[in-house]
Amino acid sequence: MKKMCLTPTRTAVALCLLTTLATGMAWGNVASAAEDDFVSTEVGFFEAGVICAQASNVVRDAPDTLAGSTHVIEDAPPFVSEGRIVPAVLGIGFGVRSGLATEFGQDGVLMTITHPPLGGSGVTQQSFISNIGSSTAPSVTFYQFDYGYELALGEWVMTASRDGDTLYETTFTVVSPSALPDLAGVCGYLDLLS
């Protein structure tokens, strides 16, 4: 799996890691989560939702992903939905904007994505090392659909952990685009469906 943000012309599913400062952006200032999310008291800022693809020029090795690499995005896109239901459309992503309840962020955070089997590979879990920002400068980590084989319907669980302790865990449900036609078309990538 590649962690990347794609342009509309790309047709790959990717795991997207976004690291950005929220300076000048209205991200909010408290941790808020869906009822079934787990958010540690170490996390001072938490949002989750659906995003549209972004361009990236930076690639990092991620050997425990299907693609073997991830793409890093400098500017975090806004969530187009703060829901946890995601249409299976190339170019759409889902993830978490988070920050620790401290003045500083944390490197060396293990991100684990657990999902239905992808394509013929049978892979159901992928992971990579990331970071989490502070509550005043949160970072964003998301998974983005860039390849047709990644459009697996069902539950996708995103977990951030450090030294064996879970910082947050949230579940997204990926559904057919016909179940959410407005959201499926919001990014303008509906024509990329395979």
Cβ–Cβ under 8 Å, residues 88 and 115: no
Confidence of residue 79 (pLDDT cuts 50, 70, 90): very high
163: phi > 0 → left, psi -120 to 50 → alpha, else beta; which?
left
Best CA proximity match to 158, nearest among 97, 75, 100, 76: 97
The domains found in the chain, sorted by start residue, are 2-180 (2.60.40.2390)
Question: What is the model's pLDDT at position 64?
Answer: 93
Question: What is the model's pLDDT at position 57?
Answer: 77
Q: Does 98 have pLDDT greater than 60?
A: yes
Distance (Å, rounded) from C-alpha 148 to C-alpha 143?
14
- pLDDT tens per residue, range 103-162: 999 999 999 999 999 988 899 999 999 999 998 999 999 998 988 999 999 999 999 999
Distance (Å, rounded) from C-alpha 11 to C-alpha 180?
21
